[in-house]
Every structure is written in structure tokens, then in C-alpha cells.
Amino acid sequence: MVDQPKDQPLLDRIQHLASEEHRLYSHGSLSDADQERLAKIKIELDQCWDFLRQREALRAAGKDPKKAHVRPPKIVENYEQ
């Protein structure tokens, strides 16, 4: 489970990125710059969610969640869903 106070900056970042993503999609047609920004948002969101899951897993295992780290896009974008 998320440790709300300690993970709040990360949760705030996820919320900010999701809001920006929704705002861009609400425009209808997307410019090349919008499409490029959406691609970057998607990667950063994947990294944030992965980082949060790492922290939760470490916490659940009784380990220090500070040992979690942001993984590079190449890794988080190749996870199977």
C-alpha cells in the first residue's frame, strides 16, 4: 500500500502528467509537438508508476523503499502487460 506522505510528491507528479495528457487529448487533433509531448508523458508516467510499485514492493517486504530507483525508458517500455 502507498505510504501517502512519503510518496505524495510522486503521486502529485503522476497526477500532473495525467492532467496534462488529458488536456492534450481534449484538443482533438494533435500537432506534431503535442504528439511528441504525449509520447514523453507516456514514458514518464510508466517510469513513475514503476518507481511507485518498486517502493510499495520494498515496503511490503520490510525493506527500505529508498532503495527503489527510476528505471530507464528502455526497460519500463518493454514490460509485457
The pTM of the whole model exceeds 0.95: no
Check residue 65 and report its DSSP letter.
G
pLDDT at 3 over 70: no
Cell numbers given for 36: 511528441
Q: How many CB atoms lie within 10 A of CB 16?
A: 13
**68: three-class secondary structure by DSSP:** coil
pLDDT tens-digit readout, 31-54:
999 999 999 999 999 999 999 999
CB contact burial 17-55 (16+ within 10 A = b; e otherwise): beeebeebeeeeeeeeeeeeeeeebeebbbbbebbbebb
**Percent of the chain surpassing pLDDT 70:** 93
Q: Where are the domains of the chain?
A: 4-76
Average pLDDT, the chain: 91
Q: Tell me: the pLDDT tens digits for 55-70? A: 999 999 999 999 999 9
Could you report how far apart the first and last alpha carbons of the chain are, in Å? 21
